[in-house]
Chains A and B, each alone.
Chain A
Amino acid sequence: MRNLRFKISWGVFALFIFTNGVNAQSLNWSGYVRNYTGILLTEKNEYAIIQNTFNLNIEHSKDRTAFKINPYIYQYPNQDLEIGLREAFMDIYFDAVDLRIGKQQIIWGKADGVFITDIVSPKDLSEFLLRDFDEIRMGVTSLKANYYLGDNTFEFVWVPSFLSTKMPGESSIWFPQLEFPVQPTFDYSQNEVPAKLGNSEVFAKYSAITSNIDFEIMGGYMWDDDPTMHIAKTIDSLTSQLTELAVTPRYHRLGLAGGSFSTTLGGFVLRGEGAYYRGKYFNSEDPALADGTVKRDYLHYLIGADYTLRGVRLSSQFVQQAILNYDDYINNDEYENTVTLLLSKEFLRETLRFELFSYIGLNNSDALIRPKIIYNLVDGFELLLGANIFVGNAGRFGVYDKNDIGYTKIKYSF
């Protein structure tokens, strides 16, 4: 606690020195303060979350340079403050080239709420997929270089040090429950990717916007953001019973190539996105495998459409993941199909908005349904009332069937 106080004091002092040194008048300050309170919709009505957030954006630009820092603080009752930097980068602008150096969120692709080619910034899954857009993607320390030729953009990203998906803590209601036939032992000795040049990630993208179509073509040599669970089994030779399981989480390299497009057809906006992943590890029940994993290529793609009908914005996407060279021992389905739906309508001169977003898993008939009502009491002051309803017993969403939540978010932007 003393250490935390020291960090906060140092942070405030540094900010004071910094803002005075850079002429605070020319700094651009923005951000928000937010209270987020969620209640589990069970008989006990326990709190799922009580969170106070302070999010600050400090920006400055001069001639052909600029910087931005985005510190944030999450405060939870009876817990230490969670302090971090979502972004902290510098920009250098040349005539046809922009360079961005530092911690930054990099977002690619045309999909909404689905991560196919959007794989540069890893995800913060502390609250599964429920966090806001700007909070679910983590900043990565990287060098981004963009070269522009008219409406064409060539982008190159170098990530010197791998950052994995942030998973929920073991005490969290969002911690994924892994089922094993016997109590396993975990070996975390290989659960890190050493920070060295050879372990860098690189990504490249070509994109263009035209009057007919927008598109992106991308590729990457990266690490799988999620560790593979290598499982060593010990079987009693006399009884042939499984006696011991040793689980070793380990990260693996992945290569991928993909692209996306967006175009209009009549009143519709049609979107598509797809990627070919090379060398993904899947868990398998094949008894011939020593560590319970198998390496396969797979495809991940979607097609979607947006349309506005009498002021109601409608959007739907069909998403499929397909494992190539599939065998029946693999734990995952050969094809996993998901549909997303969005309905949104604004009232009272855009001060009141109703929105319904849902993921529907077709393989397990499960779903996540997210209705919300947002009211702008005055400009920059937002009241949100919403719910996250999980449907089903199995599947990506069904496993959280006991985690239905009703929540409010009150947000003051400045």
Chain B
Amino acid sequence: METTKIKIVLIAILIAVPTLIFSQTKITGLQIIENVYNRETGNDMQGDLTMSLINSRGAQRVREIKQFVKDFSGMEKKIMFFVSPADVRNTSFMNWSYDEVGKDDDQWIYLPALKKVKRISSDSKSDYFMGSDFTYDDLGDRHPTDDTHRLLREETLEGETCYVVESIPKDKEYMYSRSITWVIKDKWIGLKKEFYDEDEELLKILLVKKYEKINDYWTVLSSEMHNVQKDHTTKMELADVKLDTGISANKFTERMMKRGLK
């Protein structure tokens, strides 16, 4: 009887140990970043985005945007209406991004002074969005296959157990030489991200300050990007977030860009 018990325990250990070892080493950097990329965020979202630009002297400029996002078959459409400051009020911006690898986004801007919708190139993803510390690429969902990912370690940050993943772009001309992301286990939220410039120097640090579960989806509500080289910061805060409200497809059209929030 005793021998049988020992045999069972030995068999259990023989099965469990490799499984545990395998499970700990199974997940790769690519898989972690894919999990972040594929994290469920709902079929549509709307919210009020406030962007505060803070310079090295602490002076602050604020931009307010109303944004709508919706998933379509093979693509995501986003439309943003600028509410303030006064000189950009009623400007709108629309972006269609595609699941298809390598297909560039389509982008349009409506300038109320021109009273027409202009197609713009999405090629300049390294341009900064509205003078903030976020580039257009920082704000979008960078496809995991654009970089080579390596799991560096696991560590605790802000009380959360995180995977630390290094990502090196395959395109050597890309604006960052590498980035390091702290991804919260199980939630698949990038809690912190460091961006390194072409000279491998630390350029910017992104910190997620607030996230909540809304309609069963983990949603980032507040983040902060600090440019350590120029010592300026951009705070992004998302308020009045509504998910899966069934936003009409007509919201993402030239008609609505011109009409605005009416």
Binding site for B on A (CB under 8 A): 30, 32, 59, 61, 66, 91, 93, 98, 105-110, 132-134, 137, 146, 148, 150-151, 153, 207, 209, 211, 214, 262-264, 266-269, 306-308, 311, 346, 349-351, 376, 378-380, 382, 411, 413-414
Interface contact B119-A153, CB-CB below 8 Å: no
Q: Is the interface of A mostly helix, strand, loop or mixed?
A: strand
Interface bracket on B = 35 or more
Interface contact B121-A308, CB-CB below 8 Å: yes
Residues of B within 8 A of A137 (CB): 115
Q: Is the interface of B mostly helix, strand, loop or mixed?
A: mixed
- Show 6 residue pairs from A and B whose CB-CB distance is below 8 angstroms, ordered by the A residue: A61-B262, A148-B255, A349-B55, A411-B87, A413-B86, A413-B87
Binding site for A on B (CB under 8 A): 53, 55, 61-62, 84-87, 89-90, 96, 98, 104, 106, 108, 112-124, 127-128, 130-132, 232, 250, 253-255, 259, 262
CB-based closest 10 A-B pairs: A350-B131, A267-B123, A379-B85, A349-B131, A413-B86, A413-B87, A61-B262, A107-B115, A380-B86, A262-B119
* Contact (A151, B254) CB under 8 Å given A349-B232, A379-B61: yes
Interface contact A266-B123, CB-CB below 8 Å: yes
Interface contact B262-A66, CB-CB below 8 Å: yes
Interface contact A211-B106, CB-CB below 8 Å: yes
Closest-CB distance, B134 to chain A (whole angstroms)? 11
Closest-CB distance, B183 to chain A (whole angstroms)? 29
Which residue among B86, B89, B117, B232 has the maximum number of chain A CB atoms within 10 Å of its CB? B86
Interface contact A306-B131, CB-CB below 8 Å: no
Residues of A within 8 A of B118 (CB): 110, 262
Interface contact A30-B86, CB-CB below 8 Å: yes
Residues of B within 8 A of A207 (CB): 254
The closest CB in chain A to the CB of B120 belongs to: A269
* Contact (A264, B119) CB under 8 Å given A30-B89, A414-B86: yes
Q: In the complex, A107→B254 CA distance in Å?
A: 14
The closest CB in chain B to the CB of A346 belongs to: B131
The closest CB in chain B to the CB of A379 belongs to: B85
Q: In the complex, A255→B118 CA distance in Å?
A: 27
Interface contact B255-A146, CB-CB below 8 Å: yes
Residues of A within 8 A of B119 (CB): 209, 214, 262-264, 269
Interface contact B127-A308, CB-CB below 8 Å: yes
Residues of A within 8 A of B117 (CB): 209, 214
Interface contact A379-B86, CB-CB below 8 Å: yes
Q: In the complex, A137→B130 CA distance in Å?
A: 28
